[in-house]
Amino acid sequence: MADRKQNNKRNNRNNDEDYNPKFRKVRKKVCPLCANKDLILDYKNGEQIKKYINEKGKILPRRATGACAKHQRDITLAIKRARHIAVLPYSQN
Ligand SMILES: [Zn+2]
């Protein structure tokens, strides 16, 4: 038990007294598309859409993009359209 407490202390990077590894405070990301209303996803704009795929060409999950459900659907659709017109790759290696 004492051992575990020590371990918790060691992982406590910001010296927070009531630090609990089970309930780590996570900064909720703000949806990039909600935050910037002027930003409109364009499937013909590869540079813009590229931010939402990983190096393998896979679509990033919401926890990575930080997008809300509505905009994640828009992102997914834009990526799929971009792939179809060969702006983005379906896969890489
Ligand atoms: Zn959004």
> Ligand 1 center to residue 35 CA distance, Å?
7
> Ligand 1 center to residue 91 CA distance, Å?
26
pLDDT tops 60 at residue 70 = yes
> Ligand 1 center to residue 30 CA distance, Å?
8
Average pLDDT over residues 62-74: 94
pLDDT tops 60 at residue 67 = yes
> Ligand 1 center to residue 52 CA distance, Å?
14
> Backbone dihedral region of 46: left (phi > 0), alpha (psi from -120 to 50 degrees) or beta?
alpha
Tally of residues, the chain: 93
Q: What is the pTM of this model?
A: 0.70
> Ligand 1 center to residue 60 CA distance, Å?
15
Which has the minimum average pLDDT: 20-24, 47-51, 89-93? Answer: 20-24
Residue-wise pLDDT tens digits, 29-59 = 789 899 988 888 899 999 999 999 999 999 9
- What's at 34, amino acid-wise? C
Give the pLDDT score at 14: 61
Top-level class of domain 2-84: few secondary structures
Tell me phi and psi for residue 60, to 5 degrees. Answer: -70, 145
Give the pLDDT score at 92: 87
Q: Give the domain ranges of the chain.
A: 2-84
